[in-house]
Amino acid sequence: STTFTLHYGSMIINESISPGKNLLELIHSLPSVNIDAPCGGKGTCGKCRVRIIEGEASPVSDAEKKFLSAADIKKGIRLACKTLPEGSVTVVLEDSMHNAKIMESGGLPYTGRLNPLLKKKVMNLPPASLEDQRSLETRLLQALPEGSVLDHRIRLKLAELQQKEQYEMTLSFCDTTITNLTPGSDMTPSYALAVDIGTTTVVAYLVNLSTGQMMGTASGLNTQKSFGADVISRIDYIGDDKEKLSQLQQRICSQIEELASKTLKAAGLNEEDLMAVFAAGNTTMMHILQGLSPQTIARAPFIPVSTEAMILKPSEIASQLPDHVRFVLLPSLSGYIGADIVAGILSTEIAESEDLCLLVDIGTNGEIAMGNKDSLTSCSTAAGPAFEGANIQCGVGGIPGAISSFRSDGNSFSFETIDDKPVSGICGSGIIDLTAYLLKAGLVDFTGRFQDESDWRNNPPASKDSLINKDGEIRFVWENKEDSLYFTQKDLREVQLAKGSIGAGIATLVKESGHSLDDIKKVYLAGGFGSYIDHQSALAIGLLPQELQGRIHCVGNSCGAGVIRCALNRDEMEKTKMILNKTKYIELSSNKGFQEEYMLNMYFPEYD
């Protein structure tokens, strides 16, 4: 038999090889391994690099040659999705994703009252007697508010208490459902995990339900990331295959379990102390978590299976968390305005504001909501993964060493990397700064075209040395690393597509709601990425309209903050219904005005 051996960080994993599977598919079958594969295995991103150190594989394909230099090929570097093993093979995969910088700060803090959906109550039932022949279950339910329910698991626990003639007990409730029963009185605090399931990152906050105190946070890159950078590539991966859906569902469930165990352990607690997991994410992430096929979200008319708020048992979603834990899922609005945006609207209090506010969450989709206490409008634009570093040749996610900011004094420029580590590539905020620099320095015109050599001759730019012609393509090079630090015309086009779609989304919402940009009093820039970008650069490249200058506020993880609110106060969970009722969703793919705006917004603002 043939064996696939993977060296991954400090791990060495052996698997027998199923014939016909490429290296990416083999890596996908290993639950604890993450590989960067933004295009989901189509061979178009060039990021799924592995190194073969032993054994034979299919010849290097033309698709790979586009991304691999001769030196790479000599070292045994291959694209996993384009390489078929020929016999036993040993492969090294650098775990570049494990220390990504993830925005954990939980958005605007919640200072309202505590009234959690999950509560504990001590009951002291009168002992059984000849005079009172009611069953223990009947006596318990009659002593509780009407509508209280219990399931057979709790009934079995009651049986144990009856045997011991113990009538004092602590009940845990999720709303009116008894979720746990322990003997005696135990009013120690209980805890909930509030989870923001992003397409790229997953962030969890452990909160004390009795005090509202934040006990700890933990985060990681979404372990489904190996199956594609954006929701569409994950939906593509799943196709009609139930096993693949359950594979991705398992991934997110295990990741939530891991984040729960990490935060509980750090706080000196254990799984018994956890009463609930509150979660929000985009509609596709919510579908995958629930094991619902997201297929129809990807094709017109983009209808999800369910957008309801939901309370589920761990066993209903393949989670290994103890039976007493409940998953409380926030509702979504539509296929592309998910529970994450509903949570963001909740935490920024836009739906209660007198002023007109704009919420922009920039990820692979740009989700935008605008409104005030009277009404809200929302839309989602496919920004593509450019700002996450994907589809950009030297692009990376927010990992140590990623260039996160770019500064220029007119003559020269400098940059900073995450954690001051040696350069590993350029991430979203750096890409926006760099684009702003190229525009200001006149190296790129408003149509997004790099100056060519004749332009340099007639009108030499300040830093022409940094533009080179490489095999007929103009690229901007810095640090004299023309093969490893560069930004190409194609990269710039990706930025134009991304910024064009977000700018057009904002313009369309403003128009459709009958307002003008001047009416907007506050702009909330949400999400990890939103918090790192330089406002001036975002305005300079036209990602945000110039008119909004001075009104932009970064709100960190607004989704996480909304989920925390729901965990601490059931009234906040109720408010999500009010948000859904008030919010109109505009489908941009069929909106004529959007197409026109999109063409216009592809251009950059002009500079003198």
**By the criterion CB under 6 A, which residues form the site for ligand FES?**
37-39, 41, 43-48, 79, 81
Minimum distance between the CB of residue 234 and ligand FES, rounded to whole angstroms?
13
Q: What is the CA radius of gyration of the chain?
A: 27
DSSP code string of 7-35:
EETTEEEEEEPPTT--HHHHHHT-TT---
- Which of 324, 330, 308, 309 has its CA nearest to residue 177? 324
Minimum distance between the CB of residue 35 and ligand FES, rounded to whole angstroms?
8
Minimum distance between the CB of residue 391 and ligand FES, rounded to whole angstroms?
10
Round to whole Å and give the CA distance between 439 and 461.
11
Using alpha carbons, list the distances in angstroms from residue 210 to 105, 114, 188, 264, 278. 21, 8, 9, 16, 16
Phi, psi of 251 (to 5 degrees): -60, -50
Phi, psi of 500 (to 5 degrees): -65, -40
Minimum distance between the CB of residue 228 and ligand FES, rounded to whole angstroms?
8
Minimum distance between the CB of residue 555 and ligand FES, rounded to whole angstroms?
32
Contact in structure between 48 and 81 (CB atoms under 8 Å): yes
Residue 64 or residue 433: which is nearer to ligand FES going by CB?
A: 64
Residue 76 or residue 183: which is nearer to ligand FES going by CB?
A: 76
Round to whole Å and give the CA distance between 597 and 333.
24
Residue 81 or residue 333: which is nearer to ligand FES going by CB?
A: 81
- Cis previous bond, 460, omega within 30: no
Residue 47 or residue 575: which is nearer to ligand FES going by CB?
A: 47
Residue 41 or residue 335: which is nearer to ligand FES going by CB?
A: 41
Minimum distance between the CB of residue 163 and ligand FES, rounded to whole angstroms?
58
Whose tokens are 């279950």? That residue is 137
For 538, the enclosing helix (H) or strand (E) is helix 535-540
Contact in structure between 594 and 376 (CB atoms under 8 Å): no
For 366, the enclosing helix (H) or strand (E) is strand 365-371
Residue 228 or residue 294: which is nearer to ligand FES going by CB?
A: 228
Minimum distance between the CB of residue 230 and ligand FES, rounded to whole angstroms?
12
Residue 7 or residue 42: which is nearer to ligand FES going by CB?
A: 42
The number of angstroms, rounded, from the C-alpha of 286 to the middle of its chain's C-alpha atoms is 11
Minimum distance between the CB of residue 47 and ligand FES, rounded to whole angstroms?
5
Residue 46 or residue 198: which is nearer to ligand FES going by CB?
A: 46
Minimum distance between the CB of residue 39 and ligand FES, rounded to whole angstroms?
4
Own/partner contacts of 181-189, CB < 8 Å, gap of 24 or more, are 181/154, 181/157, 185/122, 186/120, 186/122, 187/120, 187/122, 188/273, 189/273
**Nearest-10 crossing angle of helices 570-582, 558-568:** 130
Residue 48 or residue 368: which is nearer to ligand FES going by CB?
A: 48
For 77, the enclosing helix (H) or strand (E) is strand 77-79
Residue 80 or residue 339: which is nearer to ligand FES going by CB?
A: 80
Minimum distance between the CB of residue 44 and ligand FES, rounded to whole angstroms?
6
Round to whole Å and give the CA distance between 555 and 233.
28
